[in-house]
Structure 1
Amino acid sequence: MNCYECVNQGLTSDAVAVCRLCGAAVCTAHVRTEPVQIRESANPGKVVHDRPARQLTCVVCSAAEESR
């Protein structure tokens, strides 16, 4: 699968991830990685996990999230 952003620029690059919001395939140059804390409903024990998870987004969706 090729990177959607690269194809729009007339380039060909292998995709390494899929955007969690729009589903576009993206290469290493166009993927954005953000750490997120995993939270669970209030149960006995831990509610927030010690290690953050990661969420992968494309540059368009990442910019849209940052504009909030």
Structure 2
Amino acid sequence: MNCYDCHQAGTPTAAVAVCRTCGAALCPDHLKVSTQEIHRQEGMGLSTSRQPARRLTCPTCHDAEHRF
């Protein structure tokens, strides 16, 4: 599978991941890695995981989620 953004630019590049939001294939140059806290219901409140989850997105989805 090739990176969608590289394909749009006319340069086929092997993909190493898939955007969790839109499903586009991504090469290392177009991959955005961030973290997300995981909350679980525990008793009468919430418990936050000690280690945040890894979140892989494309530049388009990353910008849409972080720019208001």
Which of structure 1's runs of 4+ aligned residues deviate more than 6 A? none
Moved more, 46-55 or 12-21: 46-55
Moved more, 34-43 or 12-21: 34-43
Query: How far did residue 64 of structure 1 move?
Result: 0.7
* Matched length: 67
Query: How far did residue 27 of structure 1 move?
Result: 0.4
CA distance in 1, matches of 2:29, 2:64: 18
Unpaired segments of 5 or more residues in structure 1?
none
Are 2:45 and 1:42 aligned? no
Unpaired segments of 5 or more residues in structure 2?
none
**Higher-strand-fraction structure:** 2
Equivalent residue letter for 2:28: T
Alignment of 1:3-14 (within 5 A): 3-14=3-14
Q: Tell me the TM-score normalised to structure 1 length.
A: 0.89
C-alpha RMSD of matched pairs (Å) = 1.5
1:56 corresponding residue in structure 2: 56
CA distance in 1, matches of 2:43, 2:8: 47
What do the CA deviations read for 1:14-65 (whole angstroms, capped 9, x no partner)?
Answer: 1011101100000000010011111112337x71110111100000111111
